[in-house]
């Protein structure tokens, strides 16, 4: 409830004054009481005030209809009664406009339409209604010919004003209390909703963690199974066909022994700083020879570096690369495994191991390693070209196992990883350019 402004208060006093001007003897009690109640309700309950004004209009039109047509309007709509009176010339066009205005606003107040009704709407309806009341009392009611001189508007009684003010304050207090209760209810619902949402999110997180844990456990078991199968097959191969002795490894061992022996003698005589300097020289000389394709000389330099520092994972990786290109796959596999033991996160060593296993005929072992590579979360993500090569090699391994669908899927992933890629199954992974 709001206190009407000075302009609305003045308009309300005019309505009250107009009601007294018509004369209490000429105004039926249904009209006077209805207008007064509408005025009282104008700022307390505007919807109900419009309904009161509509009831006064109903009374006036029903009485005029009965007077003019000799019968009550019955149950026909108010709009029809107004139109019939206007068509018969019993209701002036201006009065028809006033009546329709009061009727339309009354419909809004009675039936409701979701629109906000203000005190301004009520006062406008009552002003139009009073014009119709004045015409009705002067032109329709008996004795309406005598005009009553206007009287000045009555002075508002202080007690009545105080009572109205108290009533307005009470209504305002009730509205504020209702709003507070609604706000508390809304806050409680919001808190309850947030709590339920938090519980749902926590449940989803726990379910996700459980699923990830089960997946990791399943992958670990799969890797262990594949590794076990690989070892069993390798053991069966060794039992069925003993390895043919080759003079090549003997030569390699002798060369390595010579290099290591000389390096050991020098290592015992040199200072730690000198030994480290010699290690770095042999290491990077070996890497340079490896990149240039001089694999035999690279192997000798890397073996010299190994003699100064046997715990460098990248030296092991480079030795694996040299042995791979020289065709010594058994040594290459061993060096790759040693590199991964020192640095499990070395993606290049994992790729080299998988390729060496595939080249040596251990297809199951290679497939297991390729799965590990594609599922791992390395510190440095694989570049598109390397990733395409991994998918290509993996697809070739699956093709050897007769898995045509899986092989096709891996070749498609290779193209997706590197759109400029063209299938070259004979390519080998090059030495990683990462600084080590």
CATH 1.25.40.10 domain span(s) along the chain: 248-417
Any alpha helices (H) in 70-147, and if so which ranges? 78-87, 93-111, 119-139
Counting every residue, how long is the chain?
A: 436
Return left, alpha or beta for 146; rule: phi > 0 is left, psi -120 to 50 is alpha, else beta.
beta
Is the entire prediction scored with pTM above 0.75? Answer: no
Calculate ∠ Cα 273-277-281, nearest 5°: 170
Classify domain 248-417 by CATH number.
Answer: 1.25.40.10
Q: Which of 141-145, 156-160, 288-292 has the highest mean pLDDT?
A: 288-292
For residues 369 and 357, is the Cβ–Cβ distance under 8 A? yes
Instruction: Please state, in angstroms and rounded to a whole number, the distance separating the CA atoms of residues 182 and 265.
Output: 91
For residues 130 and 17, is the Cβ–Cβ distance under 8 A? no
Residue 291 three-state SS? helix
CATH 1.20.120 domain span(s) along the chain: 6-155
pLDDT in tens, 88-137: 998 999 999 999 988 888 888 777 666 777 888 888 888 888 898 889 88
- Least confident interval from 203-212, 266-275, 335-344, 373-382: 266-275
Torsions phi, psi of 333, nearest 5? -60, -45
For residues 36 and 15, is the Cβ–Cβ distance under 8 A? no
Classify domain 6-155 by CATH number.
Answer: 1.20.120
Quickly state the pLDDT bin for 143 (edges 50, 70, 90): low
Those residues with Cβ within 8 angstroms of residue 55's Cβ, 6 or more apart along the chain or in another chain:
30, 34, 106
Instruction: Please state, in angstroms and rounded to a whole number, the distance separating the CA atoms of residues 303 and 271.
Output: 20
């Amino acid at each position: 409830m709001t206190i009407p402004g000075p302009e609305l208060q003045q308009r309300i006093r005019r309505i009250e004054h107009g009601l007294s001007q018509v004369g209490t003897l000429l105004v039926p009690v249904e009209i006077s009481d209805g207008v007064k109640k509408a005025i009282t309700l104008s700022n307390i309950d505007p919807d109900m005030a419009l309904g009161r004004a509509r009831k006064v209009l109903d009374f006036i039109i029903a009485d005029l209809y009965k007077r003019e047509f000799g019968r009550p309007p019955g149950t026909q709509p108010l709009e029809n009664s107004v139109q019939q009176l206007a068509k018969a010339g019993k209701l002036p066009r201006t009065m028809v406009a006033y009546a329709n205005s009061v009727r339309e606003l009354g419909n809004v107040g009675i039936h409701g339409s979701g629109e906000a009704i203000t005190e301004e709407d009520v006062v406008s309806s009552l002003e139009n209604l009073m014009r119709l009341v004045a015409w009705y009392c002067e032109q329709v009611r008996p004795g309406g010919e005598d005009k009553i001189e206007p009287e000045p508007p009555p002075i508002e009684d202080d007690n009545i004003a105080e009572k109205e003010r108290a009533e307005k304050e009470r209504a305002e207090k009730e509205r504020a209390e209702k709003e507070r209760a609604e706000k508390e209810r809304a806050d409680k619902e919001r808190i309850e909703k947030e709590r339920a949402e938090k519980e749902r999110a926590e449940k989803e997180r726990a379910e996700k963690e459980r699923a990830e844990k089960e997946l990791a456990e399943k992958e670990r078991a799969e890797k262990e199974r594949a590794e076990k199968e690989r070892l069993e097959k390798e053991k069966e191969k060794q039992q069925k066909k003993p390895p043919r002795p080759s003079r090549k490894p003997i030569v390699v061992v002798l060369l390595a022994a010579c290099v290591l022996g000389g390096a050991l003698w020098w290592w015992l005589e040199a200072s730690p700083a000198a030994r480290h300097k010699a290690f770095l020289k042999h290491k990077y000389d070996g890497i340079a020879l490896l990149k240039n394709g001089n694999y035999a000389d690279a192997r000798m330099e890397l073996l010299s570096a190994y003699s100064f520092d046997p715990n460098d994972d990248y030296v092991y990786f480079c030795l694996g690369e040299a042995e791979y290109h020289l065709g010594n796959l058994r040594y290459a596999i061993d060096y790759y495994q040693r590199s991964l033991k020192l640095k499990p996160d070395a993606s290049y060593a994992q790729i080299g191991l998988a390729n060496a296993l595939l080249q040596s005929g251990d297809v199951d072992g290679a497939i297991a390693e390729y799965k590990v590579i594609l599922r791992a979360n390395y510190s440095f993500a694989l570049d598109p070209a390397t990733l395409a090569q991994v998918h290509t090699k993996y697809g070739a391994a699956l093709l050897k196992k007769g898995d045509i669908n899986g092989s096709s899927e891996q070749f498609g992933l290779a193209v997706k990883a590197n759109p400029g890629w063209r299938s070259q199954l004979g390519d080998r992974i090059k030495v990683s350019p990462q600084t080590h």
